[in-house]
């Protein structure tokens, strides 16, 4: 089934609004344009080149960060979104339709430190309600929808709306220029023997992660770490596993590296819809109330049974 048909069926059945359908189609068109940009210009030094600027939080911007955001912005301007909240911008961007009912938050290009070496990167998005007041991000649990695109050997999409029981995956048919649904709805296996964490920081981990890592080493789990959240997340949605980017003792990592509004919340929304769990350690990500657009949060998510072990360790050992 094409994405357009999938969304129209959901809209006709009352599962999503026409505004949500329109915004999703705009984001899909932007992802197709980003794919074409990558295929034409190649994931190499040009798109991976630093622009010399930094984003709102001091991260160095890459050419593809800027061009991906510009494509997303140009497509959203024609949709029923009133504001864009972007990792690359310090404050919300007002869009032309100021009476539209939606706010969109994006990480336009997640994994940008991998662009120049042809590792899968992606776009993460969150659809939130707008009440006409200041465009503030909502709690993750109150999102209207969320998902992410991956730009790798294939361009893929995983998506869920508030009324969905499970997320749905799609793959881009690049010859025909549309996304096609990938089989059954997505469920994350409850158990796993595979985890993703950057073990280079092991000396800085706090007690719960140290103890958990000792257990998984003893149980001979396998480890994967792409260094691109969307790539690790896509693998977990497709074959299970857990992903950990915890807080650690390094300066500036008191709340971990990843952002609550446009990375953790969309991923956590999808994970819970797929039967998994997503926490900051002891608390459910979706229950956190954002205080600031670019605030960071520790993010641990994936297979429910393994996550319950991690949550118990945090409740027992967190200082
Ligand atoms: P960036 O977009 O700056 O490359 O950051 C990517 C994020 C996330 O996608 C990934 O899981 C994590 O940073 C990797 O962090 P480390 O480089 O510390 O492993």
pLDDT of the residue at 116 = 82
For residues 107 and 177, membership in a common domain is answered with yes
Is residue 267 in some structural domain?
A: yes
CATH number of 34's domain? 3.30.540.10
Domain final position from 135, 154, 181: 181
pLDDT of the residue at 81 = 97
pLDDT of the residue at 319 = 60
Task: Work out how many domains the chain is built from and give that number.
Answer: 2
For residues 63 and 107, membership in a common domain is answered with yes
Residue 21 has φ and ψ, to the nearest 5°, of -60, -45
Is residue 143 in some structural domain?
A: yes
Q: How far is CA 6 from CA 9, 19, 165, 177, in A?
A: 5, 15, 15, 16
Q: How far is the CA of 59 from the centre of ligand 1 (A)?
A: 11
Domain final position from 160, 181, 202: 181
pLDDT of the residue at 3 = 98
For residues 123 and 261, membership in a common domain is answered with no
pLDDT of the residue at 57 = 61
In the chain, the DSSP E strands lie at 50-54, 60-62, 81-86, 93-94, 102-110, 121-129, 145-151, 155-161, 168-173, 178-181, 194-196, 222-223, 242-245, 277-279, 299-302
For residues 252 and 161, membership in a common domain is answered with no
Is there a contact between 232 and 188 (Cβ–Cβ < 8 Å)? no
Residue nearest to atom 5 of ligand 1 (CA): 111
Q: How far is the CA of 16 from the centre of ligand 1 (A)?
A: 32
Nearest atom (ligand 1) to Cα of 200: 19
For residues 198 and 176, membership in a common domain is answered with no
For residues 70 and 210, membership in a common domain is answered with no
For residues 86 and 113, membership in a common domain is answered with yes
For residues 38 and 62, membership in a common domain is answered with yes
Is residue 129 in some structural domain?
A: yes
Query: Which residues make beta-bridge pairs with 242?
Result: 195, 302
Residue nearest to atom 16 of ligand 1 (CA): 227
Residue nearest to atom 15 of ligand 1 (CA): 227
For residues 97 and 212, membership in a common domain is answered with no
Name the residue of 202, 228, 247 whose CB sits within 8 Å of the most ligand 1 atoms, as the mutation to test its pocket: 228
For residues 18 and 141, membership in a common domain is answered with yes
Name the residue of 229, 230, 299 whose CB sits within 8 Å of the most ligand 1 atoms, as the mutation to test its pocket: 229
Is residue 187 in some structural domain?
A: no
pLDDT of the residue at 43 = 56
CATH number of 249's domain? 3.40.190.80
Is residue 186 in some structural domain?
A: no
For residues 226 and 124, membership in a common domain is answered with no
For residues 267 and 297, membership in a common domain is answered with yes
Is residue 18 in some structural domain?
A: yes
pLDDT of the residue at 82 = 97
- Average pLDDT of adjacent 10-residue blocks, the chain of 319 residues: 97 98 98 91 64 68 86 96 95 95 97 87 97 93 98 97 97 96 92 97 97 94 97 97 98 97 98 98 97 97 98 90
Enclosing domain of residue 251: 194-317
Q: How far is the CA of 40 from the centre of ligand 1 (A)?
A: 25
Taking CB atoms and a 6 Å cutoff, what residues make up the pocket around ligand 1?
Answer: 59, 110-113, 198, 227-229, 245, 257
């Amino acid at each position: 089934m094409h994405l357009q048909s999938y969304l129209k069926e959901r809209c006709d059945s009352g599962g999503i609004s026409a505004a949500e359908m329109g915004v999703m189609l705009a984001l899909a068109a932007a992802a197709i344009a980003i794919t074409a940009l990558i295929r034409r210009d190649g994931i190499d030094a040009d798109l991976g080149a630093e622009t010399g600027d930094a984003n709102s939080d001091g991260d160095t911007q890459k050419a593809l960060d800027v061009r991906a955001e510009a494509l997303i912005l140009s497509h959203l301007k024609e949709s029923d979104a009133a504001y864009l909240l972007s990792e690359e911008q310090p404050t919300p961007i007002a869009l032309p339709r100021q009476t539209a009912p939606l706010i969109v938050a994006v990480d336009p290009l997640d994994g940008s430190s991998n662009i120049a070496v042809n590792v899968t990167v992606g776009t993460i998005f969150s659809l939130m309600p707008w009440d006409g007041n200041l465009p503030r991000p909502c709690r993750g649990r109150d999102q209207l929808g969320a998902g992410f695109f991956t730009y790798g050997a294939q361009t893929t999409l995983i998506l869920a709306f508030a009324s969905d029981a499970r997320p749905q995956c799609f793959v881009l048919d690049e010859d025909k220029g549309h996304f096609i649904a990938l089989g059954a709805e997505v469920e994350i296996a409850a158990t796993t023997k595979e985890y993703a964490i950057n073990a280079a920081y092991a000396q800085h981990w706090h007690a719960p992660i140290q103890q958990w890592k000792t257990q998984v080493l003893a149980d001979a789990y396998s480890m994967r770490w792409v260094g691109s959240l969307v790539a690790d997340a896509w693998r977990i949605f497709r074959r299970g596993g857990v992903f950990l980017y915890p807080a650690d003792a390094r300066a500036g990592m008191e709340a971990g590296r990843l952002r609550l509004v446009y990375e953790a919340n969309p991923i956590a929304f999808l994970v819970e819809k797929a039967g998994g769990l997503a926490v900051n350690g002891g608390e459910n990500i979706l229950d956190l109330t954002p205080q600031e657009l670019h605030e960071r949060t520790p993010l641990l998510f994936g297979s429910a049974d393994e996550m319950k072990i991690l949550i118990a360790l945090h409740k027992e050992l967190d200082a």
